[in-house]
Structure 1
């Protein structure tokens, strides 16, 4: 009869944080296995030392490399894969002989631990039990004495070995975070924290619950002093006063104009998520504000869609008093949206000292094009059919110019309850230069619950089926419609164009 395999979580370092089940598993084992570097010292063994008996058979599993530099033909990963396979084979000999094997693991066995590599190679062949342990993440939060995440906050666990750009994006987007595996990665992690605007709130925890434990602000830590067994922590924002005042000492906040894309959270960029999370005040059209998660301590100022200038000035007034304001816009804020209104107001002398930045978002045109295929694959023009801010004669002239240049057209704001005739007039203008069978993508509520994307011909475009939540993409003379093998129609505009 085969023996039993245990993956035993020992907790973060303090032996008193081992679970009763972990102690029981070690006591009942014939073989105690643990990993170590070439020096032969094992942190896992030192945690469990009081429970290891002289009659235990000990299997020391020594890593062949501890950095990603290796002369193995398969490189670092090849060397480690070979090691794990050989280590699993050594343990299998004991299991085949009917012995019970306990593999010790710091923290939790299946959380960034070496045991998992034994588990993947042995658990399908032998009776296996995993004994969970207190992770270094939980230990770090406990030692800091601060909540990691509350309510609907998102906690992100990141390895410091990720590329710096990836770390920056994820740190900017999340509410709370823990970055593992510091050591040599610390300078990169610190830069990522700073670039994400999170360095002031970041904490450092070294050897939590162990001898030599150290707690500090991450910004104050010397990179040369950081061991592998340390973590960077961004604690919960809930319950903390939001930083309204800028750090320049002049009492002036800032305005960040953000685009939420065409619909909900799936369309937000990490940078936009970060700006929304750190703001003290959100200002915007109520429909767009409803797309943003509610956060404790954050003030929301909703308004009607037709008061862009007033909304922009209100945001600047808040920032002038020291608030960190996010102006929330749909799509991309620079495309028929709030960025223009904010920058126009910010150009006045009263607000020239208020910092303003604009963060991009996925445009309605890009979202609709992606759903339909690639109709914007060549040159295209973007025109709003709304005559609320410019006369129809100007719109018609621009449609003629773009159509005569054989550009694909993205038509924003095509219709509403008070504007019912513009689509029909636009169709008449375009057919002066376009064939009746020119493909038109009619995309409504892209990304939303009522999403509908259809391909019609220009001559068949029905104005009654177009509203304010619709965008129209009108093809050029080169735009193709192809029905693929699965029955789906796709639209694409070739990138080449015939000479002459």
Structure 2
């Protein structure tokens, strides 16, 4: 307890505290030595905790009525001029029941909230382990979240604390294990109080876990290194999305944090936060096979390697290069995983609406790895099928004519006013997204950081909203093919 908390209790006329039906209160037990015989005590006993209720409003309705009645009881003392101290374990405004009193009373009576030591801080102190260092971010989660949500958040967390265990412990343990963090996870029960227990979370009997326990994933900085050796190595191919941290999936964040080595095109590696102890191996964008072989060699020596791509690693990116090399005899036993990422086509489409709302085809206009004749044949086929087109790698400093030629081919099948989305650096600092007519598509405005989305015959463009912004979508319904009437009909 803080000195200020002791002072407030000493000066209070009324001591209020929450408790379950058994009447025992952890908050009262903490403050017991400071209570006086002449204190008026107001036990606020929950009508329901983990059981069921016949309240017509269910659990939520029962608790709403309880908090309203409790606030009314305290208001009687306040109206009589008495000072009321509401006890709360931990901090009053951190997952605490006091906040429900605060919402109902603080606007009517002078109120002071005395901060307390949270179970998060107490648990870290009892473990003797830093929670966060440097640029790490601490995530605090209630164990009552759905298991899938817990797994996603834990996979992307630097450090984390999961509260409200008890009956949620089995699901929390599974979420931590699925997130790949079970080896790091620690368990703390009743921190700083009698009956305190700490240990490795993996060793805890689920039937022995009370509500007042937390799971802790401490700082990764200076953490004991995980097992290394030939059997521990693996390659995980990840996509960073079109740009920046906002486009990373939780699964990818977790893989990047867990890796010992990051391998990739330098531009993509720069999107990944620097972590102490990680090695970064950047290279040029035109050495995919060499980069893949380097990553697999590291994994064969027992390193956990993340190969970093932009967008989705399986869409014109590094997943294919890694798997091609991994099929060779020296690397067939090296584990390789591919984690999905947000593609440039999806990101660009979302910026303007839903141009990919119906069937579409994805093609690369780069003829560095396939002949232009193949590209032209596929463009003709996709355009003749009236598919929306997502065109990757449309141009570069050394490839300046492909966009113009593609426009000519497409105009053989599409109307001149077919909408084309030009999306450059989506999600980045130089983002620019425009909509032009197919006939007006200017190759000079296209480079390697641009993706083109070419509408079908059904794609619609309208202006809407206060700014009259253009919105593009392709309807999910397609017209029935017309048929001529048969004789005699």
Q: Do they superpose with TM above 0.5?
A: yes
Please list every run of 5 or more consecutive structure 2 residues that lacks an aligned counterpart in the other structure.
482-489
In 1: Cα distance, 2:226 partner to 2:37 partner: 58
Aligned twin of 2:444:
464
SS at match of 2:136: coil
1:109 equivalent to 2:92? Answer yes
1:497 equivalent to 2:478? Answer yes
Aligned twin of 2:56:
73
1:30 equivalent to 2:13? Answer yes
After TM superposition, the structure 1 = structure 2 runs for residues 348-497 of structure 1, keeping only pairs within 5 Å, are 348-486=328-466, 487-497=468-478
SS at match of 2:426: coil
- RMSD across aligned positions (CA): 0.9
Aligned twin of 2:22:
39
In 1: Cα distance, 2:333 partner to 2:197 partner: 42
Aligned twin of 2:487:
none
In 1: Cα distance, 2:12 partner to 2:74 partner: 13
**8 Å contact from structure 1 (residues 68, 76) kept in 2:** no
SS at match of 2:129: coil
Aligned twin of 2:164:
181
In 2: Cα distance, 1:300 partner to 1:414 partner: 30
Deviation at 1:252, TM superposition (A): 4.1
Aligned twin of 1:194:
177
Aligned twin of 1:152:
135
Aligned twin of 2:295:
315
SS at match of 2:198: strand
- TM-aligned CA distance change 1:243 to 1:372, over 3 Å: same
Aligned twin of 1:58:
41
SS at match of 1:59: strand
Deviation at 1:67, TM superposition (A): 1.2
After TM superposition, the structure 1 = structure 2 runs for residues 263-342 of structure 1, keeping only pairs within 5 Å, are 263-342=243-322
Aligned twin of 1:3:
none
Q: Deviations over 1:331-357 (max 9, x none)?
A: 000000000000000000100000000
In 1: Cα distance, 2:99 partner to 2:346 partner: 43
In 2: Cα distance, 1:20 partner to 1:82 partner: 34
Aligned twin of 1:171:
154
Of residues 98-107 and 59-68 in structure 1, the stretch that sits farther from structure 2 once superposed is 59-68
Aligned twin of 1:253:
233
SS at match of 2:113: strand
Q: Deviations over 1:450-477 (max 9, x none)?
A: 1111110000001101111000000000
**TM-score (norm: length of structure 1):** 0.95
In 2: Cα distance, 1:168 partner to 1:69 partner: 28
Deviation at 1:68, TM superposition (A): 5.5
In 2: Cα distance, 1:272 partner to 1:180 partner: 25
- TM-aligned CA distance change 1:231 to 1:362, over 3 Å: same
In 2: Cα distance, 1:53 partner to 1:240 partner: 47
Q: Deviations over 1:379-438 (max 9, x none)?
A: 000010111111111111110010000000000001111111111010001001010000
SS at match of 1:23: helix
- TM-aligned CA distance change 1:240 to 1:306, over 3 Å: same
Aligned twin of 1:126:
109
**8 Å contact from structure 1 (residues 443, 454) kept in 2:** yes
Deviation at 1:226, TM superposition (A): 0.5
Deviation at 1:96, TM superposition (A): 1.2
In 1: Cα distance, 2:243 partner to 2:112 partner: 45
Deviation at 1:41, TM superposition (A): 1.1
In 2: Cα distance, 1:474 partner to 1:132 partner: 58
In 2: Cα distance, 1:291 partner to 1:189 partner: 31
In 2: Cα distance, 1:47 partner to 1:245 partner: 46
Q: 2:216 aligns with which of 233, 239, 249?
A: 233
SS at match of 1:266: helix
**TM-score (norm: length of structure 2):** 0.97
Please list every run of 5 or more consecutive structure 1 residues that lacks an aligned counterpart in the other structure.
1-17
SS at match of 1:255: strand
Deviation at 1:197, TM superposition (A): 0.6
Aligned twin of 1:20:
3
Aligned length: 480
